Amino acid sequence: MVINFAAGPAKLPEEVLKEVQTNLLDCNGSGISVMEMSHRSSNYAKIQETAINDLRELLNVPSNYKILLMQGGGTGQFAAVALNLIGITGTADYVITGSWSSKAAKEAAQYGKVNAVLPKVDRYTSVPRQSTWKLDPKASYVYYCDNETVEGVEFDFVPEIPAGVALVADMSSNFLSRPIDVSKFGVIFAGAQKNIGPAGTTVIIVREDLIGKHMKITPSILNFELMDKNASLLNTPPTFGIYVMGLVFKWIKRNGGVEGMAKLAASKSKLIYETIEQSNGFYYCPLDANVRSRMNVPFRIGSATGNDALEKEFLAKAEAEGMIQLKGHRSVGGIRASLYNAITFTETQKLASLMLNFYKNNKN
């Protein structure tokens, strides 16, 4: 059996994949695959509407928020958020705590003034407390990435921002892994390929009063207002991806909802971090304990800079035991275990067991 610890595209629940397999040639009695289905058909309309309604239920999304399904992934939303919102005042605050928020800030700077509320650092290992932030009360919005997939930094709080300023969160890699109060946000977005479905679909939850604030240069495909008016059907949506995502939402509902996912995430990540901490420095995680991600656990072997030979040996042993895609992101190296919702506790135990045995055999 293969266990996929990839950071994205990531593992999907096995029972969802089996359901997709069963219905691949005949989706919901239509006689055709969902991949052949017209996005204007009543059959597809039911699929998309059900997925959106289930998501609204899972997160208790207030009625004054719209749920849009768009393409372009998180990177597309780096531009879309700025194009739709930065024109309100011409400036935006960006809380840069890792690679993805840094890229988002660079993208937004093409469309308005970007204020980096934190000083630039060489390595992202923490989330400075909000009392140190330099927020602009005239900003159109405050942007942050709730979970930095590369560095493994996850916010342990929701920022408090000035009245009248929208809070925007990239939740691509921890979406539906813990309860959130949607009413605290102006925009939440998440690429599906990490925690809720295959690559190709992006979920956007946007407060109604922020729709229609876009710049004139905003492309139609990134325009929140046009997407809302056309029920996310302005262009052909990624129908297959939305279908699978809808099945994942059903799976989450069957398994305790977002609260159930949060409990599972806490137990899985605790197991791996305890294995690291109990290794007497053999495994090293550079992150402040309070912001260690429950989704992406990066670590090195031997020291803070790692031991290339031991890390290669560890990755080879992992693959021999069916645990794949544990190599760290190319920008930071080392090892990274992504523990998304579809990863089971039993699978996490197998990784912890490998880590323990490898430590015992190589600690000297």
The first and second tokens of residue 53, run together, are 């309604």
The first and second tokens of residue 201, run together, are 């679909």
**Which of the 8 DSSP states describes residue 38?**
-
How far is Cα 309 from Cα 329, in angstroms, rounded to an integer? 17
Backbone angles phi, psi at 347, to 5 degrees: -65, -40
100 is catalytic: yes
In the set 93, 146, 170, 228, the catalytic residue is: 170
Pairing of strands 335-338, 296-301: antiparallel
How far is Cα 154 from Cα 58, in angstroms, rounded to an integer? 21
In the set 93, 100, 268, 327, the catalytic residue is: 100
Cα dihedral 268, 340, 24, 240, rounded to 10, equals 160
The first and second tokens of residue 106, run together, are 């660079």
170 is catalytic: yes
Residue 55 CB neighbour total at 10 angstroms: 22
How far is Cα 258 from Cα 299, in angstroms, rounded to an integer? 27
How far is Cα 362 from Cα 352, in angstroms, rounded to an integer? 15
The first and second tokens of residue 196, run together, are 């809720």
Cβ atoms of 292 and 127 within 8 Å: the answer is no
In the set 194, 213, 268, 327, the catalytic residue is: 194
- Give the side-chain half-sphere CA count within 13 A for 295: 31
Of 255, 254, 289, nearest in space to 273 by CA: 289
**Helix-helix angle 345-362:257-277, to 10 degrees:** 10
- Please identify every residue annotated as catalytic: 100, 170, 194
